[in-house]
C-alpha cells in the first residue's frame, strides 16, 4: 500500500476515534443524568413510604382478594356445596376493620372534602360516599349471617347469597372508578408538599391501627383465609 495512502488512512481513523469519543462522553453523561432524574421521580416518602394513591390502590388489591373469598363462598352456596362459614366470617371482619373503618375513612376524611372544596368530581364523590354507607349495611348483614345456623336454613342461605352478590356487584365498579378516575385526579388538587404529607399521615394511621407494617399483616391474614378455602394457589385461575 502507498505510504501516503497509509498515512491518510491512519489520520482518518485517529480523527474518527477522537470524534466518537467526544460524542460518547456527553451521551453517557446524559444517560446518567436521565437515570438520576428517574430515580428521583421513583422515590417514595421518607423511610421508603408510598404515595397516597399507591397506598389506597394497594389496599384495593387487598379488597379484591377478599372479594375472591366472597366469590367462592357465593359459588358454593349457589351450587349447594360445603361452605367454609368461618372463612367468610373472617373475610367480612377484615372488610369491616381494614376496608370500611380504615381505608374508606381515609377517603372520606382526606380525599372527598378536598375534591368538594376544589369543585372537582363532586357527583362522583357523592356516589362513592353513598356506596360506602350501603356497603357497611351489607357487611353488617353478612357478618350477622356468617354463622353455622345459616347453612341449615334455606331462607337465610338465600339472604346470605343475595348480600354477597350485591356487595360484589357494587364494589368492583366502585373501586375501579376510584383507581382510574378519583385517585389519579387527587394529585392535581393538592400541592406536592401536601400530597407527600398525606402519604406519611396515611402510613402513620395504618401503623397506629394495625401495628408496624400493618398492611402486610392484613395481607397475611387474607392469605391464611385463602389457604383455608383452597383458593390461594394463583395458578388455579389460569385458563386451561
Query: For residue 153, is it within any domain?
Result: yes
Name the nearest CA neighbour of 67 among 155, 144, 170. 170
- CATH number of the domain that 179 lies in? 1.20.120.520
Structure-block grid coordinates of residue 137 = 349495611
Q: What's the confidence (pLDDT) of residue 48?
A: 54
71/137 same-domain check: yes
Judgement on whether residues 143 and 29 belong to the same structural domain of the protein: no
**Dihedral of alpha carbons 52, 180, 103, 123, sign:** positive
In this structure, the answer to whether residues 187 and 172 fall within a common structural domain is yes
Comparing CA positions, the residue from 163, 161, 172, 175 lying closest to residue 137 is 163
> Do the Cβ atoms of 114 and 189 come closer than 8 Å?
yes
Domain carrying residue 36? 1-43
Tell me what pLDDT residue 42 has. 38
Does 240 reside within a domain?
no
Q: 76 and 17 share a domain?
A: no
Query: Do both 85 and 140 map to the same domain?
Result: yes
Question: Does 201 map to a domain?
Answer: yes
Domain contains 83: yes
Contact 179, 60 (CB under 8 A): yes
Total number of domains in the chain = 2
pLDDT at residue number 39: 36
C-alpha 83/C-alpha 74 separation (Å) is 9
Residues 36 and 80 in one domain: no
Q: Compute the distance between CA of residue 209 and CA of residue 202 in angstroms, rounded to an integer.
A: 11
170 and 139 in a common domain: yes
Quote the pLDDT of residue 240. 87
Note whether 91 and 112 are same-domain residues: yes
Q: What residues have CB less than 8 Å from 107, skipping those under 6 apart?
A: 56, 128, 132, 178
Q: Kindly state whether residues 25 and 128 are assigned to the same domain.
A: no
Residue 73: inside a domain:
yes
- Whether residue 239 lies inside any domain: the answer is no
Same domain, 112 and 208: yes
What is the per-residue pLDDT for 76?
Answer: 97
Whether 164 and 199 map to the same domain: the answer is yes
Grouped pLDDT means (10 residues each) for the chain, 240 residues: 48 44 39 37 48 95 98 96 96 98 97 97 98 98 97 96 98 98 96 94 92 94 98 94
Amino acid at each position: 500500500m502507498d505510504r501516503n495512502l497509509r498515512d491518510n488512512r491512519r489520520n482518518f481513523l485517529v480523527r474518527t476515534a477522537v470524534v466518537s469519543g467526544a460524542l460518547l462522553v456527553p451521551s453517557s453523561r446524559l444517560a446518567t443524568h436521565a437515570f438520576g432524574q428517574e430515580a428521583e421521580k421513583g422515590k417514595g416518602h421518607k423511610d421508603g413510604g408510598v404515595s397516597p394513591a399507591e397506598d389506597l390502590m394497594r389496599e384495593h388489591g387487598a379488597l379484591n382478594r377478599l372479594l375472591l373469598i366472597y366469590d367462592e363462598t357465593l359459588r358454593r352456596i349457589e351450587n349447594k356445596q360445603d361452605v367454609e362459614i368461618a372463612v367468610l366470617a373472617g373475610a367480612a371482619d377484615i372488610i369491616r376493620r381494614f376496608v370500611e373503618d380504615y381505608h374508606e375513612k381515609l377517603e372520606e376524611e382526606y380525599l372527598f372534602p378536598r375534591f368538594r372544596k376544589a369543585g372537582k368530581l363532586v357527583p362522583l364523590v357523592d356516589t362513592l360516599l353513598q356506596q360506602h354507607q350501603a356497603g357497611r349495611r351489607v357487611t353488617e348483614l353478612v357478618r350477622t349471617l356468617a354463622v353455622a345456623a345459616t347453612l341449615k336454613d334455606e331462607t337465610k342461605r338465600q339472604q346470605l347469597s343475595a348480600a354477597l352478590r350485591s356487595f360484589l356487584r357494587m364494589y368492583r365498579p366502585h373501586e375501579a372508578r376510584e383507581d382510574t378516575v378519583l385517585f389519579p385526579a387527587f394529585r392535581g388538587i393538592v400541592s406536592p408538599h401536601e400530597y407527600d404529607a398525606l402519604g406519611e399521615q396515611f402510613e402513620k394511621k395504618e401503623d397506629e391501627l394495625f401495628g408496624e407494617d400493618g398492611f402486610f399483616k392484613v395481607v397475611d391474614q387474607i392469605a391464611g383465609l385463602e389457604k383455608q378455602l383452597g383458593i390461594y394457589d394463583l395458578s388455579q385461575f389460569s385458563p386451561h
